[in-house]
Amino acid sequence: MPAAPQFQSEFLRTFVARGAYYDCSGPGELDALFQGERVTAYIGFDCTAKSMHIGNLVQLMTLRRLQQAGHRPILLMGGGTTKAGDPSGKDETRLILSPEQIDENKRSMLSGVQHLLKFGDGPSDAIMVDNADWLDRWEYIPFLREVGRHFSVNRMLTMDSVKLRLDRDQPMSFLEFNYSIMQAYDFVELNKRYGCRLQSSGSDQWGNVVSGIELGRRMAGVQLFGLTTPLITTSSGAKMGKTAAGAVWLNQEMLSVYDYWQFWRNTEDGDVGRFLRLFTDMPLEEIARLEGLQGAELNEAKKVLATEATALLHGRVAAEKVSTAATSTFEKGIISSDLPPKFIDMGPDEQWKIGRSNTAFIVAAGFAKSNSDARNKIKEGITINGKVVTDPNEIVRWDEADPQTGGFIVRHGRKNIAIVKPK
């Protein structure tokens, strides 16, 4: 990671202090821009799923920090670029989504995160834009003549998003190959419409950001800037944002508030301070104090992280509720009524009338993605209603439900517990 310059502007100094800075173009000029005017900046999100995930949260927090410093953020939804598909970090061509699927994904994604920003007509109020508004209107030949002529195929072939796929002899469609041109044009269009001067992204998108900067200079004679954040890994080197059941989604209907809180509670010791700086609005002085805690006291810092991160996304009331439920469950041994249940299907298969297998319960609890994965989790230690699971195919009978909860208490290790109820 490049060493951060000694910035003078409030936003960039805060950005560095929060651990969100990786690199930028023209650091001196960008710093002067932030000192001299209200900066309009954007980050784009393609509409590939029904929810954003924890990997998007660094970028969402960047928009939030911009607004907190008095600047104007643009949340750009990629209704147009999603139709091409970003090849970055992918080993194969994305599935082609229909316009209806893309629109549904966009609405669902926004519903889970738009409250992180204040939208409106004020000078620093956030703007929400869809790049389909301009990309869908272009005709093929005019787009090639006006935009495509500014791109060198030779250079595009050296971009990581393209080169890695070609080096692995993995196919890349011509549609995907055009993605960087479309994203670069977004920057030019946002500058023309809103005076946008800055694009922020993860460091893996640097090639696309630079393409937008250069296109702005060639097409409009304007100086644009790029700012990137580091790719977040845990202190043990693992990619952040993965659980046994898959991605950590930001929409509540795809990941419960309790599971979101629990994800943060399970943070590795060495990441507590870093994640408090990145993913909460807590004062840096208080974070420094919590980061200095040792031993059992560090667990209190983890609970603060979990509650503050959850409150930011799901609200203070919901965060406090799940915090109380977790404390009751793990520290007092009392299964709280506020612990959200998971559900397992009772039918209509004839063989399910008596019960379901241990593996089915482990998958339903969210501790495994598949039956084969559940078998591996059994080796790590699983109990159902206090009974140690040894046989993955053994049937858990419906009439053996825990009388207190009406469900089945599934535990994986010390930190993971779920109530699974039949439906």
Residues 6+ apart with CB under 8 A from 93: 85, 171, 172, 173, 176
| Higher per-residue confidence, 169 vs 189 | 189
Residue 166's CB is within 10 A of a number of other CB atoms, namely 11
**348-386 pLDDT, tens per residue?**
676 677 889 999 999 998 888 888 889 888 888 899 988
Tokens of 194: 């809103």
**192-245 pLDDT, tens per residue?**
999 999 999 999 889 889 999 999 999 999 999 999 999 998 888 887 866 555
pLDDT recorded at residue 89: 52
CB hemisphere CA count around 327 (13 angstroms): 13
Range with the lowest mean pLDDT among 170-184, 210-224, 324-338? 324-338
Q: Please compute the mean of the pLDDT values over residues 141-159 and round it to a whole number.
A: 79
149 pLDDT band, cuts 50/70/90, is confident
For residue 139, count CB atoms less than 10 angstroms from its CB and return exposed for 0-12, middle for 13-18, buried for 19 or more.
exposed
Picking from 215, 78, 222, the residue whose alpha carbon sits closest to that of residue 146 is: 215
Does residue 310 surpass a pLDDT of 90?
yes
Residues 6+ apart with CB under 8 A from 392: 357, 358, 359, 371, 374, 375, 378
Phi, psi dihedral angles at 418 (to 5 degrees): -145, 150
Q: Please compute the mean of the pLDDT values over residues 337-352 and round it to a whole number.
A: 75
How far is the C-alpha of 91 from the C-alpha of 78, rounded, in Å?
21
Decide the pairing of beta strands 408-412 and 382-384: antiparallel
How far is the C-alpha of 22 from the C-alpha of 302, rounded, in Å?
25
pLDDT recorded at residue 192: 97
Tokens of 166: 């070609």
Does residue 339 surpass a pLDDT of 80?
no
pLDDT recorded at residue 338: 65
What is residue 112's DSSP assignment?
Answer: H
- Which residues lie across from 41 on neighbouring strands? 73, 198
Q: What is the mean pLDDT of the chain?
A: 89
pLDDT recorded at residue 46: 94
Which residue do the tokens 């667990």 mark? 299
Which pTM value belongs to this model? Answer: 0.82
For each of the domains in the chain, give its residue range(s) and CATH number, in order of start: 10-229 (3.40.50.620), 256-331 (1.10.240.10), 342-422 (3.10.290.10)
How far is the C-alpha of 290 from the C-alpha of 304, rounded, in Å?
9
Range with the lowest mean pLDDT among 137-146, 257-266, 332-341? 332-341
Does residue 147 surpass a pLDDT of 90?
no
| Higher per-residue confidence, 416 vs 64 | 64
H helix or E strand, kind and range, residue 207: helix 206-220
